[in-house]
Structure 1
């Protein structure tokens, strides 16, 4: 992994918002500053959550902010064969198992108690497939580029779902397979995914995949401390140039890069050139959350 390969991997459940922009910009600048590639993956493995046209809107938004990716877009919806092959390998290793239990059945437990580890409890019911978190790599230790050393025991997090009862693939397996197949060397993403990393490290270790470096970013929060998200109805990013310029400047500020005030009205290309020259992870304050009102500028 001597060559840097980064990626931005949005779920097309709606258009990008300011929190998405901060994550995309950070991953873009980190890749470009390293002289590396920046890939785009559309994580559309959950069709009911992905309205028609949302993915195309995301592509237009990224282009409006000058965030141009390398190579073709990877779409998860046609990657089922690769995920199935990985699941079969995990099953052969004794690290994945079918599970008939419903969330309602184990609602009194903090995590799924592993009832189906030694055999499906209710064979006549549909099954999901889970990861044996107690048998894989434990503990999982890695050095986050912003938050420093992290140490988790995945067994304390539970046996995560790899394939759902409805036959749809789950995020944890899909992201690991795709990162490996795309040769991703560096993952830059929000702090809300930091505690997903132990499962992903377990899967990488079990499947013999390389382990990317991780940089988790402070989450941008809105009123009431809620994460900016599509579920919380965060406003969509506009695509008109007059609105794009100040928002790009605000995203640089949210990443603690301290862009000069005069840059807020500069063309997108000029702002990105400044951001590329100035980019430093060391400037980012290691906070789990970053209120939008705490963003200078």
Structure 2
């Protein structure tokens, strides 16, 4: 084992290695689900309904005879895709507002700060539900609702990061050397202030995947019969006493993915603080 590999292992640990393996399988499920589950997730077989887990159906079948494992694998693109897209919206707009609050006029900073505090006081899922109540349900509405609801958290984080970097010694030295404000912002402040968003994005996707599933469970996300983990959990709860495997598959996929992303996000943040 080389020195670089040893350092990487010390950074992420055995929990990080397991998380990487989980995310690798998840990435394959998102990008090429046919490799893991070549069946049709929408194909119904009424004669095979409510079959318990077996070699033919490792996660059993649902009320329509559809293979649960196939639906879980194909549904990963919906759950994780929506979560990643929502996180991208939240980070993108949050970064713009965070920079505006940090380097803009004091009046703008005060106005944005009060807005962030009001929105941040409400749980993200509550804000998302309020936005969906206005926009309506569906996949696009879920992406926008979760993305917009996460903006205040990213904006506040970036505002604090920009303020901290702007007061650092190397930025002050660059200013004393006569470097212009725009150059200082682009070369010194922005790269160092944006770095914490890398670990925040990993944690954000984990949270967004859970919120996507919550909206799907409430019937406000991707519409059935399209496979989506939250919608599958909602469908399985009716048969929880007699067909528990209908909720086991999507529940395990949701917990494993969110936990893996959270572990890696925290490892990256810890490594950044120690470096």
TM range (shorter): under 0.3
TM-score, normalization: structure 2? 0.26
**Higher RCO (CA-CA < 8 Å; seq separation 6+):** 2
TM-score, normalization: structure 1? 0.24
Larger radius of gyration: 2
Higher helix fraction: Structure 1 or Structure 2? Answer: 2
